[in-house]
Amino acid sequence: MTDELKIEDDYNPQDRVDAFDKLEPEFWKHKKLDEMSTEEWEALCDGCGKCCLNKLEIKGRVYFTNAYCRFLDCDSCLCKIYPHRFEVVPDCRNIDLAAVREHPRWLPKTCAYLLLDNGYDLPAWHPLVTRKADSVHQAKMSLKGRELTNESKVKDYEDHIVDWQDL
């Protein structure tokens, strides 16, 4: 695997969002996270890419850095190796209910799983609400356009700690 991997040219993130039509309307408003189908759970991911930033834990406190996993495509904010990510990156964590509840600070505060688990609604820019895959980018809630560093170039993660408001 190399950094030269590309998201397939014919992959269109809008196709994923168009398929939301098959889901129960506004299912997230009346289902708990542990009642959702796999398709509903996957649809909750807004595609922000912020969980693919490296984190540091110092004296029990978690800090986000601007250093991104080398397999993230920073333009689309999609994983370049999504089907094989757990084989290639041993510390890439599956975002399941246990991850949300055991390590909430490993997720940004805008993460849909965290919001819903804490009793909040989805934000107005969420693709499930807008039905537009790029609304997360338009709202500047994704990593797109931010000053980021590929983790392979990092010497000291402490130099890369960021305090962005949406983390």
Instruction: Report the 10 Å Cβ neighbour count for 104.
Output: 15
Least separation in angstroms between residue 16's CB and ligand SF4 is: 12
Residues 5 to 44 in contact with ligand SF4, rule: CB under 6 A: none
Residues 105 to 134 in contact with ligand SF4, rule: CB under 6 A: 107-108, 111-113
| Contact criterion met (CB below 8 Å) for 51 and 107 | yes
Rounded Cα gap, residues 107 and 98, in angstroms? 12
Rounded Cα gap, residues 74 and 6, in angstroms? 11
Least separation in angstroms between residue 100's CB and ligand SF4 is: 9
Question: Applying CB under 6 A, does 52 fall inside the site for ligand SF4?
Answer: yes
| CB-nearer residue toward ligand SF4: 17 or 112 | 112
Q: Which tokens belong to 135?
A: 């609304």
Dihedral of CA atoms 88, 42, 94, 47 in degrees, nearest 10, equals 70
Rounded Cα gap, residues 166 and 155, in angstroms? 25
Q: Which of 17, 95, 115, 148 binds ligand SF4 (CB under 6 A)?
A: 95
| CB-nearer residue toward ligand SF4: 3 or 156 | 3
Contact positions vs ligand SF4 (CB under 6 A): 45-52, 69, 71-72, 79, 81, 85, 89, 92, 95, 107-108, 111-113
